[in-house]
Amino acid sequence: MKDTAMPILIVEREMSVRLFLIRLLESNNFQPILAENAGEALSVIKSEGIKLVLCDWDSEDDEALTLCRRIRSEMGQSYVYVIVQSIQSDKDAIITAMEAGADDFVSKPVNAHELLVRIKSSSRIIELQQQLVSRNRTLEFAHKRMSDDYDQLTTELMLASKMQGNLLPDPKELRNTYATWMFKPANFLAGDMFDYFMVSDNLLAFYVIDVEGHGITSALTSFLVDNMLNPSRDGLCRRMLENSIDIRAAVINTVTELNKKFSNSEMYTRYFSMIYGMINTDTGRVTLTQAGHPFPIRYDASNACTQMIGEGGVPVGILPDVTYDAVEFELNAGDRLYLYSDGVTECMSPDGKMFETPRLQECIGQWHATEVEDVHTEFERVFRRWNGDSKPFEDDLSLICFEYRGTESQLGSVKNYGI
Amino acid sequence: MAFETREVEDVTVVSPANRRLDAVLAPKLKELVAELVADGNNKIVLDVSNVEFMDSSGLGAAVAALKIVGGPGDMAICGASGLVADLFKLTHMDRVFTMAANEEEAVVKLAS
């Protein structure tokens, strides 16, 4: 029982019973409040926050039943416990009162002890009900806060995803070379990232990375790498080109430098696979370092065949002191070079089949029939269909294609200086 | 249990119970190897003969385990085939780890 006396509303016409009830309640530390009729009772219940009503059911009229019904229909969440007292004590009367909304039934003449016991039991129920209401309120509040936070997080992620999309280069012609791509993040944010840009009059630098896992940490790592390489920011590509004896050394030194940064620092928790390289747009000569990223595929236009490039290599940031190497080969006019993340070859069909490298090679052969400016629509079509159209991809997919359009004819030989 | 472990001589062989060694199992593998080493088991074989698919997180966990154990003299990978073997070759991790065809060969290699 609470410290302050619990108010109990008495709706009783008979004076003697009223006085009896007032005395009984007062001597047991309750606070009796009186109401003449159902209408007054309802307004007192609302204004005083009454939780317990003792209501007389006269055999003459059904006002008590009306009060019960109105309490049930008008009091909503705030539960009011109603004990009906009546001289009618047969089963039918009890059922009628209960059906109207009464919680308990006491036959008249009222036995003081019995009534007190019933009031005490009702106050236990009222207390429990109040605890439930207050817990519900707390839960509703917490749920609202969580769903607000979740909505905000989703909005933030969508914005970040847009930003990440904006960091990607447009498909475009870069001095005799056309670059295009397909990019499908598994979540809002991807761990895959790529870029291409001219680092000198005739050198097109490019990189693709795939950070372990996907999501926020992976995306942040890919932002960091982009920030280091991009010529408009840290410009590691250009610095290494200026400080190295030749292109091959510049490519190797750039990846080696990244590996030093990412494997020695406590701050970086994710490693990534990468291909970094350059295309000499005058000659079609490509120099690239493969650091754990899937094997680039060259499409040889004159012989209409594909060729896997490279010997593999250690991903960046997984081990310190790694010695990297580079592969060099020529692209002839019309040849294409494809770079892709493992999300492409490991893309699952709805019936659980992986896309795999041979199928990619086959597609690359077919894609040659499509102009390079339009070929990204073919990429989309093939992978959407493979994935079963609507479902999200399990891993980030990035597929980049360069077409070399050199004017002079070059030798198609592949020299491999890799390990 | 995500992993089964068994003792062969002074070597502990760890086998993933799952056919995928990916981001779900990766942190558990790291944790398990750290526990084994803390308990004094410092020769570990990771038996991947039942693993059909391993992603970059799985590979990252294997390398983290290698660093915890100490070096290639104390940790071997056995039973890599298919996509798992391809991943080790692509990333040159087959040159970093002691690779063995099966458990017996791995145990012999770590003993020598």
State whether A194 and A318 are in the same domain.
yes
> Which DSSP string do the residues of A204-229 spell out, in sequence order?
EEEEEEEESS-SHHHHHHHHHHHHHH
Query: Is the CB of A313 less than 8 angstroms away from the CB of B96?
Result: no
Query: Is the CB of A314 less than 8 angstroms away from the CB of B89?
Result: no
Here the CATH number for the domain that contains residue A66 is 3.40.50.2300
Judging contacts by C-beta atoms under 8 Å, the chain A residues touching residue B97 are none
**Strand pairing class (A192-200; A203-211):** antiparallel
Chain B: give the shortest CA distance to residue A193, in Å. Answer: 16
State whether A131 and A181 are in the same domain.
no
Query: A418 near A311, Cβ under 8 Å?
Result: yes
* Cα–Cα nearest to A386, from A338, A340, A347: A347
Q: How many domains does chain A have?
A: 2
Work out the mean pLDDT of chain A and round it to a whole number.
Answer: 89
State whether A341 and A382 are in the same domain.
yes
CA atoms within 13 A on the CB side of B47: 21
The pLDDT of residue B104 is above 60 = yes
Q: What is the pLDDT of residues A364-408, one digit of tens each?
A: 999 999 999 999 999 999 999 998 876 788 888 999 999 999 865
Over residues A289-304, the mean pLDDT reads 96
Indicate whether A161 belongs to any domain.
no
In chain B the domains, ranked by start, together with CATH numbers, are 3-111 (3.30.750.24)
State whether A304 and A405 are in the same domain.
yes
Residue B95's pLDDT is 94
Length of chain A (residues): 419
State whether A194 and A77 are in the same domain.
no
Judging contacts by C-beta atoms under 8 Å, the chain B residues touching residue A313 are 91-92
Chain B: give the shortest CA distance to residue A45, in Å. Answer: 58
Query: What's A389's DSSP letter?
Result: S
pLDDT class of A267 with cuts at 50, 70, 90: low
**DSSP SS3 for A6:** strand
Indicate whether A234 belongs to any domain.
yes
Indicate whether A411 belongs to any domain.
yes
State whether A126 and A178 are in the same domain.
no
Whole-Å CA distances, B35 to A346, B1, B69: 33, 15, 11
Residue A255's pLDDT is 97
Chain A: give the shortest CA distance to residue B105, in Å. Answer: 25
CA atoms within 13 A on the CB side of A44: 19
pTM above 0.95, yes or no: no
* Cα–Cα nearest to A351, from A387, A389, A396: A387
Least confident of A112-121, A181-190, B3-12: A181-190
Indicate whether A384 belongs to any domain.
yes
State whether A345 and A243 are in the same domain.
yes
Q: Is B71 on the interface with A (CB under 8 A)?
A: no
State whether A270 and A391 are in the same domain.
yes
Residue A323 structure tokens: 């010695």
Indicate whether A143 belongs to any domain.
no
State whether A336 and A240 are in the same domain.
yes
Query: What percentage of chain B carries pLDDT values higher than 90?
Result: 81
State whether A111 and A173 are in the same domain.
no
Indicate whether A149 belongs to any domain.
no
**Could you tell me the residue range of the domain that residue A131 belongs to?**
6-136
State whether A336 and A205 are in the same domain.
yes
Residue A143's pLDDT is 95
Residue A206's pLDDT is 96
Q: What is the pLDDT of residues B63-96, one digit of tens each?
A: 999 999 987 778 999 999 999 999 999 999 999 9
State whether A189 and A307 are in the same domain.
yes
Query: What percentage of chain A carries pLDDT values higher than 70?
Result: 94
The pLDDT of residue A88 is above 80 = yes
Indicate whether A160 belongs to any domain.
no
Interface pTM (ipTM) of the complex? 0.92
Q: What is the pLDDT of residues A213-250, one digit of tens each?
A: 777 888 888 888 888 888 776 688 889 999 999 999 99
Here the CATH number for the domain that contains residue A177 is 3.60.40.10
Indicate whether A266 belongs to any domain.
yes
Domain boundary (A136, A155, A182) is at A136
Domain boundary (A87, A120, A136) is at A136
For residue A271, give the nearest of B53, B55, B60 by CB distance.
B60
Please name the residues in contact with A354: beta carbons below 8 A apart, sequence gap of 6 or more. Answer: A345, A346, A347, A348
